[in-house]
């Protein structure tokens, strides 16, 4: 590095000349130091400042990290921890902690990141206590961000948990390799440490019907708890409000949240570091359509991060905070007959709770429904159950409660009327004229609008101050004839570079990923990404090109891309062909699935070039990267690799499967997939 080189050459010069200090210099230096010390010591001591008693301003309370003390203080005996990335596990945890009241118990939902998890073994100090874990799995079998420390703690500690009663409900997706890995790990690890499992591990599959899995598990779970602790359900099925409404009439508008995620006014005065609680408002500098034709809209956006101190690496994800369509928000306001600009707060009735409000308050109904609440996903059954009381038609009331039950006809009704028909809350209100709930209760029940993650389509070596996004706009017709639009992609599509003379901005932060180019640039890379799955590979190719320019030796770079039609949606065609021409991308293979009678996909091209693929993997230590659809593509690609290993490696199917698994554990087969 240049700086250490500079130091050594300076030292060399000093060494060759006269000694730096003579004796006289040293004497004078000591004298001066002595005088300075004497002056400091002999200064008159300052007058003590008279203390004025402060009136009624308590010191800010230190954050309580002991959940045991909190439970004792508030008389709680059930704690529900959640590991949540998109808010669903947190939602389930809140539902379970609320349930406890019906069984004469008191529950609290808790974020493991906020508490000292080393206290789990102390839970036995509380009579009839139980810890429930709602654990989601993220990415390649990883813990969610907020459960990372807890996961590390479980791996490193061997505390005796023999007094702990526990149960786990896991949230995952069957299309992923490591289905529900985090929930299974917590369940097994607690048992190994001597804890007592009160009820079987629940497995929720988001590829099927997660809500149904949860409702069925919960329906059997509570009777098991009652039996274990010898308690009886109160039969009190009434809706229990968690928050109370306060309307503000003469509030200073500077104190009102207008869409900020964390600190009030954080969008006006931006202060690093930027993260999920404090996103950076990045100006949009480019927003162009990528595809030349066809009925879809594929887009490329560039966000400017100059001056933000944000760093990213190729393969990372950018998280953006979208807002809901104002048309939907206005329709909700109309149908519920509400003044959307009324300033309100929803305050937690449990004053000891860490969660004072369901979203930043005070704010307006309009801001809450635009920035903070998810109004486009089909509502979960608990929302229908609690809103049922507001339906004036007894038939509607009965149907809503039925959909929330675990009876076969109830489940079928929820599946067909809500999920298959993609009815969001507005569609439900439109199709059920007798249902008119108070808007504040609706705001309490709707889940939070979540950030959306996109694989970054640029390299920070080439674009240190810019982050590129590649996405397809989601829009589809539902069975009821309505048009549903994806929240984030439609919002991004409308982010024009200048809007009425103002710069459009996107609130964003970076989520680090394990999807990384090999440490050694000489390793070959095989990239497989059809459609918008190409995103991280645009960054990878830029980075390999940059390394070449630096005079580094770069291994073979191979790309398998797939789209429907060459002259419609061959996105980034110019960039890819340019890289091919400059030998940055010596191998470019493109599958156009619909340009001929029989469909051709990336996995077909892999098999066509099996000899080359096998040589790169088996002899040259290549790294494989797969990005895109998890449900079909990623599975088909993986089985193509099994076929190649079986045929060219002379392996049995089992050996071939193990061979690919080993590549994964060694970090040589990475996936960035979504379903």
Residue indicated by tokens 């309505």: 482
Joined tokens for residue 544: 């390999």
Residue indicated by tokens 């029989």: 598
Strands, E assignment, 386-516: 452-455, 466-472, 475-477, 483-485, 498-499, 502-503, 505-511
Which residue is catalytic, options 455, 459, 513, 670?
A: 455
Provide CB contacts within 8 A for 307, sequence distance 6+.
none
CA atoms of 352 and 444, how far apart (whole Å): 18
Q: Would you say 605 and 560 are in contact if contact means Cβ atoms under 8 Å apart?
A: yes
Residue indicated by tokens 């479980």: 154
Binding residues for FAD: 452-455, 470-472, 476, 486-489, 674
Binding residues for FMN: 84-89, 136-139, 171-180, 206
CA atoms of 123 and 195, how far apart (whole Å): 11
Which residue is catalytic, options 187, 440, 629, 672?
A: 672
627 a catalytic residue: yes
Q: Which residue, among 105, 116, 132, has the nearest Cα to 67 in the 3D structure?
A: 116
Which residue is catalytic, options 440, 513, 627, 629?
A: 627
Q: Which long-range contacts (CB under 8 A, 24 or more apart) does 429-432 make?
A: 429/332, 429/335, 429/336, 430/335, 431/480, 432/391, 432/396
Report the 10 Å Cβ neighbour count for 410. Answer: 19
Provide CB contacts within 8 A for 235, sequence distance 6+.
102
Q: Would you say 301 and 466 are in contact if contact means Cβ atoms under 8 Å apart?
A: no
Binding residues: 84-89, 136-139, 171-180, 206, 296, 452-455, 470-472, 476, 486-489, 532, 593-594, 599-603, 636, 674
Joined tokens for residue 617: 């993997």
Which residue is catalytic, options 217, 417, 491, 674?
A: 674
Query: What sign has the CA pseudo-torsion 561, 566, 568, 570?
Result: positive
Q: Which residue, among 340, 338, 336, has the nearest Cα to 433 in the 3D structure?
A: 336
Binding residues for NADP(+): 296, 532, 593-594, 599-603, 636
Active-site residues, by number, are: 455, 627, 672, 674
């Amino acid at each position: 590095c240049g700086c250490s080189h500079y130091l050594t050459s300076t030292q060399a010069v000093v060494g060759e000349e006269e000694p730096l200090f003579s004796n006289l210099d040293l004497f004078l230096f000591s004298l001066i130091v002595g005088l300075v010390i004497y002056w400091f010591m002999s200064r008159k001591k300052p007058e003590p400042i008279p203390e004025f008693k402060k009136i009624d301003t308590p010191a800010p309370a230190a954050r309580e990290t002991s959940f045991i003390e909190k439970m004792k203080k508030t008389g709680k005996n059930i704690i529900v921890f959640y590991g949540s990335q998109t808010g669903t596990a947190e939602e389930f945890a809140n539902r379970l902690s609320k349930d406890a009241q019906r069984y004469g118990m008191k529950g609290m939902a808790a974020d493991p990141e906020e508490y000292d998890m080393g206290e789990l073994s102390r839970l036995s100090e509380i009579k009839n206590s139980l810890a429930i874990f709602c654990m989601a799995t993220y990415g390649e079998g990883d813990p969610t961000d907020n459960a990372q420390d807890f996961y590390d703690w479980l791996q490193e500690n061997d505390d005796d948990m023999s007094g702990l009663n526990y149960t786990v409900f896991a949230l995952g997706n069957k299309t992923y390799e490591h289905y529900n890995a985090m929930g299974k790990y917590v369940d097994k690890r607690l048992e190994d440490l001597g804890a007592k499992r009160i009820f079987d591990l629940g497995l929720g599959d988001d590829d099927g019907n997660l809500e149904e899995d949860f409702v069925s598990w919960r329906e059997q779970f509570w009777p098991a708890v009652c039996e274990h602790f010898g308690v009886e359900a109160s039969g009190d099925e009434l809706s229990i409000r968690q928050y109370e409404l306060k309307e503000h009439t003469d509030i200073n508008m500077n104190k009102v949240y207008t869409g900020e995620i964390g600190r009030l006014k954080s969008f006006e005065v931006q202060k690093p570091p930027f993260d999920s609680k404090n996103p950076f408002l990045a100006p949009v500098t480019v927003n162009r359509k990528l595809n030349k034709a066809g009925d879809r809209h594929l887009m490329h956006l560039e966000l400017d991060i100059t001056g933000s101190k944000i760093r990213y690496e190729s393969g990372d994800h950018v998280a953006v905070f979208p807002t809901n369509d104002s048309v939907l928000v206005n329709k909700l306001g109309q149908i519920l007959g509400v003044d959307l600009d009324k300033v309100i707060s929803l305050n937690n009735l449990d004053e000891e709770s860490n969660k004072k409000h369901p979203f930043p308050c005070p704010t307006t109904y309009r801001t809450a429904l635009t920035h903070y609440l998810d109004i486009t996903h089909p509502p979960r059954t608990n929302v229908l159950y609690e809103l049922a009381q507001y339906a004036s038609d007894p038939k509607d009331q009965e149907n809503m409660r039925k959909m929330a039950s675990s009876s076969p006809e109830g489940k079928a009704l929820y599946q067909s009327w809500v999920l298959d028909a993609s009815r969001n809350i507005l569609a439900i209100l439109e199709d059920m004229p007798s249902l008119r709930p108070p808007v504040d209760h609706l705001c309490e029940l709707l889940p939070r609008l979540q950030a959306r993650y996109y694989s970054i389509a640029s390299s920070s070596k080439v674009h240190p101050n810019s982050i590129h996004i590649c996405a397809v706009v989601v829009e589809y017709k539902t069975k009821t004839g309505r048009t549903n639009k994806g929240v984030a992609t439609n919002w991004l599509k409308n982010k024009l570079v200048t809007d009425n003379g103002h710069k459009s901005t996107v609130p964003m932060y970076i989520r680090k990923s394990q999807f990384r180019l090999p440490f050694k640039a000489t390793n070959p890379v095989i990239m497989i990404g059809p459609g918008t799955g190409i995103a991280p590979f645009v960054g990878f190719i830029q980075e390999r090109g940059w390394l070449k320019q630096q005079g580094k030796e770069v291994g073979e770079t191979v790309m398998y891309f797939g789209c429907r039609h060459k002259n419609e949606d061959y996105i980034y065609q110019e960039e890819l062909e340019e890289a091919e021409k400059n030998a940055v991308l010596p191998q470019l293979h493109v599958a156009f699935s619909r340009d001929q009678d029989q469909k051709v996909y990336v996995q077909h091209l892999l098999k066509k070039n099996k000899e080359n693929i096998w040589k790169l993997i088996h002899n040259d230590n290549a790294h494989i990267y797969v990005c895109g659809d998890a449900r079909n593509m990623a599975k088909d690609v993986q089985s193509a690799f099994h076929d190649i290993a079986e045929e060219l490696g002379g392996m049995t199917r089992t050996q071939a499967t193990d061979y690919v698994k080993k590549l994964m554990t060694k970090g040589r087969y990475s996936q960035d997939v979504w379903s």
